[in-house]
Amino acid sequence: MSTFRDLGTPESVLSVAGDLPPGYPIDAIDCALSRAEAMLVLLSGQFDGTGNERLADSIICNALWAVSGDLVMLRKLLDHGYATEEQRVAEELARALESKGGAQ
């Protein structure tokens, strides 16, 4: 069995923090989406047909690779939310029931 792991990109070695609360980390997801969207908007200006100076292909390629990395990180955040959302809802329900029981 091979023990080789592809560790060629930063996102391949990063993981969601172990102490991240259960559920979807909405702020982090929104941030990742905003970053990727901004990069794509900037890149789209390179292909608007105006003929203005164009960035080098290597810069455009690296920018696209950055978007790809943002999407990998976004997938990790979404996977965390999917895997833990049920736990978050159960914890909130338990707290609500506990506070209702204590109020009587």
Q: How many domains does the chain have?
A: 1
Q: Model's pTM, two decimal places?
A: 0.74
Query: Which range of residues forms the domain containing residue 45?
Result: 24-103
Residue 6 placed within a domain: no
Identify whether 93 is part of a domain.
yes
As a three-state string, the secondary structure of 1-65 is: CCCCCCCCCHHHHCCCCCCCCCCCCHHHHHHHHHHHHHHHHHHHHHHCCCCCCCCCHHHHHHHHH
pLDDT value of residue 103: 58
Asked whether residue 96 is domain-assigned, the answer is yes
Question: Does residue 94 sit within a domain?
Answer: yes
pLDDT tens across 43-80, in order? 988 887 776 788 899 999 999 999 999 999 999 999 99
Confidence of residue 3 (pLDDT cuts 50, 70, 90): low
How confident is the prediction for the chain on average, in pLDDT?
87
- pLDDT tier, 5 (very low <50, low <70, confident <90, very high otherwise): low
